[in-house]
Structure 1
Amino acid sequence: MKFRSASVSVTSSPAATIPPKRFSMRVAEWLLDSPRLGENPNVKHFAGHLLKQPAREGVVAAQARLGQLMCRECGNARDRRIGQDLLRQAARAGDRRAQRELGLVED
């Protein structure tokens, strides 16, 4: 029995859906802002993973949040340095949270 492949119109996603980077940003922010979930190290790790791609693509809020997470939660110098770089990029783009955090980090 032969199966036909689905047509393009059936397999294409609808135009009204939220782009993946915005969805992952919202989920990560919800996880980190949740009082109970935000304290769990595994949740922080997962949220950092969700923020990584949008931060690479230049989303300023993702850069600020991931930089803040890396500076506060990572134990090694390499990750803290990467976090400071992300905070600097977000601060140059005008993110107030990143500017405040960078002032705390570099004092």
Structure 2
Amino acid sequence: MKFRSAPVSSSSTPPPVAPTKRFSMRVAEWLLDSPHLGENRNVKHIAGRLLKQPAREGVVAAQSRLGQLMCRECGNARDRRIGQDLLRQAARAGDHRAQQELGLIED
């Protein structure tokens, strides 16, 4: 018995991934803003990993938070430089937190 299925067209678009981005952003912000969890180094690492992909895709809030996290918490110069680049991108997009953080860093 043969089953007929609808032909798969090459022009079909994949479903949007925006809800996943928003979810990972919300979880990361919750982790960082939580009074007890936000102080833990491992939690900061997890939040940074959650922010990484949205920041690469140009989400300004993710760029700002990840940039702040990298500038404040990372011990090596390479990560701090990447954090400053993320803050500059977010500041150019109009993020006030990033602009303030850059002002503190560059003064």
TM-score by length of 2: 0.83
Tell me the distance in 1 between the aligned counterparts of 2:92 and 2:24: 23
Q: Which residue of 2 aligns with 1:31?
A: 31
Report the CA distance between 1:32 and its aligned residue: 0.1
Residues 34-53 of structure 1: matches in 2 within 5 Å?
Answer: 34-53=34-53
Q: What code does the residue aligned with 2:53 have?
A: Q
SS at match of 1:62: helix
Q: What code does the residue aligned with 2:102 have?
A: L
Report the CA distance between 1:66 and its aligned residue: 0.1
Q: Which residue of 2 aligns with 1:75?
A: 75
Q: Which residue of 2 aligns with 1:101?
A: 101
Tell me the distance in 1 between the aligned counterparts of 2:67 and 2:78: 12
Tell me the distance in 2 between the aligned counterparts of 1:58 and 1:106: 23
Structure 1 gaps of 5+ residues are 1-14
Tell me the distance in 2 between the aligned counterparts of 1:35 and 1:90: 25
Structure 2 gaps of 5+ residues are 1-14
Q: What code does the residue aligned with 1:79 have?
A: D
Q: Which residue of 1 aligns with 2:3?
A: none
Equivalenced residues, count: 92
Report the CA distance between 1:19 and its aligned residue: 1.1
Q: What code does the residue aligned with 1:94 have?
A: G
Aligned CA RMSD, in angstroms, stands at 1.4
Report the CA distance between 1:43 and its aligned residue: 0.0
Q: Which residue of 2 aligns with 1:63?
A: 63
Q: Percent identity?
A: 88
